[in-house]
């Protein structure tokens, strides 16, 4: 399935049905009076966060969603049928933006959350409503109310507890593959990762979700590389793991470039807790490790951890440091082997 995290959608709620002008006509009844029914209400447009979706690819092939109009009223005091609602089913973590792509209309962060986007028009009154003591044969009825038509944007921000940051080829995908069952694409050229990947990481009996996003470069906020739009997928994370390539000759500049992009992106992303780690230490000897760590610690102004996604050195220590920054309410307890066997379905 192709990953899509931004879609433009046109929606329109249904118009209400018009009221009827009708009079009771029956044999031997001289004064039947008005009996025009009301029109039915138009259908509304809703958005709902559902399980089992992690992309907006469905909205690539259908961008127009129109609710059904209400049926007009009829004689014999019959009310028209209400129009059917239409529901846009989106993944959890989807933001609903107005046409300006800035105003947030709704943030679908909970499974089953349901938000009204466009209310259907009310049905018009039939002439039965206008009967008075002085006007016993009204010949007027109200038309139905028009529906609401608008353009909205759907933007998906993945729900993850920890996010991976770094330059292209910093070893983020290798790290995610080493600590989870995720299988992102891994290659020896820049921008191997073209869309975010999620993996469930387990450490010390607890599990949390980690997100790997495409690499950033200096000038990403200006559209260089793949841009900085993918940073939206780590906005909801509790902690960021910043991986720096230990084999790079400009590792201090690489670190500063990522921090600058976080600050330019805005929001509170640059203020989130961060764990900085020097990756690919399996390719360095002891002297090179010490030199690279000292350079990076001077730039960071704090401690720097060491790891290798290939050899596995230092992985558990880094995961424990990341886990320490995640609140207990976001962690999930890992099932033991016995619990997993008990949970297995049996006929």
Rounded Cα distance, 15 and 68, in Å: 8
Rounded Cα distance, 150 and 77, in Å: 34
Grouping H, G, I as helix, E, B as strand and the rest as coil, residue 32 is coil
Rounded Cα distance, 265 and 103, in Å: 17
| pLDDT score at 249 | 87
DSSP 135-165: -SS----PPPPPPPEEEEEEEE----SEEEE
Q: Decide if 7 contacts 57 (C-beta within 8 A).
A: no
Grouping H, G, I as helix, E, B as strand and the rest as coil, residue 328 is helix
Rounded Cα distance, 23 and 32, in Å: 6
Residue ranges in the chain whose pLDDT is less than 50: 1, 336-337, 340, 343
Residue 113 DSSP code = -
| pLDDT score at 337 | 46
User: Model pTM?
Assistant: 0.80
Residue 257 DSSP code = H
Model confidence pLDDT, tens digit, residues 1-51: 467 889 999 999 999 999 999 999 888 888 888 999 999 999 999 999 999
How many separate helices (H) and strands (E) can be counted in the chain?
A: 6, 15
Rounded Cα distance, 177 and 198, in Å: 10
Q: Decide if 18 contacts 72 (C-beta within 8 A).
A: yes
What are the E-state strand segments in the chain? Answer: 6-12, 45-50, 64-66, 86-91, 94-97, 104-108, 114-118, 149-156, 162-165, 197-203, 206-212, 239-245, 274-279, 305-306, 332-333
Rounded Cα distance, 151 and 198, in Å: 30
| pLDDT score at 316 | 93
Task: Provide Rg for the chain, Cα atoms.
Answer: 30
Continuous H helices in the chain: 58-61, 172-179, 251-265, 286-300, 315-324, 337-343
Model confidence pLDDT, tens digit, residues 131-164: 998 998 899 999 999 999 999 999 998 888 999 9
Give the domains, in start order, of the chain with CATH numbers.
1-156 (2.70.210.12), 162-337 (3.40.50.300)
């Amino acid at each position: 399935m192709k990953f899509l995290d931004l879609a433009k959608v046109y929606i329109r709620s249904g118009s209400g049905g018009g009221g009827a002008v009708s009079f009771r006509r029956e044999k031997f009844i001289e004064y039947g009076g008005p009996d025009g029914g009301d029109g039915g209400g138009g259908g509304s447009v809703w958005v709902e966060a559902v399980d089992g979706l992690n992309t907006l690819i469905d909205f690539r092939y259908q961008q127009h969603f129109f609710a059904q109009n209400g049926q007009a009223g009829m004689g014999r005091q019959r009310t028209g049928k209400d129009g059917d609602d239409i529901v846009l089913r989106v993944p959890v973590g989807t933001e609903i933006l107005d046409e300006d792509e800035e105003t947030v209309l709704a943030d679908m962060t909970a499974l089953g959350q349901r938000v009204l986007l466009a209310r259907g028009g009310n049905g018009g009154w039939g002439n039965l409503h206008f009967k008075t003591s002085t006007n016993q044969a009204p010949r007027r009825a109200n038309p139905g109310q028009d529906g609401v038509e608008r353009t909205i944007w759907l933007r998906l921000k993945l729900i993850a507890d920890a996010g991976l940051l770094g330059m292209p080829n910093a070893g983020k995908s290798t790290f995610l593959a080493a600590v989870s069952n995720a299988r992102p694409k891994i290659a020896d050229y820049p921008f191997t990762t073209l869309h975010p990947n999620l993996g469930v990481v387990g450490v010390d009996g607890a599990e949390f979700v980690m997100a790997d996003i495409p690499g950033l470069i200096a000038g990403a906020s200006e559209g260089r590389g793949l841009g900085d739009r993918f940073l939206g997928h780590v906005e909801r994370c509790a902690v960021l793991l910043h991986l720096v390539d230990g084999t790079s000759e400009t590792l201090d500049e690489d670190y500063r470039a990522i921090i600058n992009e976080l600050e330019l992106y805005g929001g509170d992303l640059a203020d989130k807790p961060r764990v900085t780690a020097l990756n690919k230490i399996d390719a360095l000897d002891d002297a090179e490790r010490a030199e690279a760590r000292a350079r990076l610690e001077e730039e960071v102004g704090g401690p720097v951890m060491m790891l290798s996604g290939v050899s596995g050195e230092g992985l558990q220590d880094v995961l424990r440091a990341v886990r320490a920054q995640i609140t207990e309410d976001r962690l999930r307890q890992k099932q033991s082997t016995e619990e997993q066997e008990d949970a297995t379905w049996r006929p």
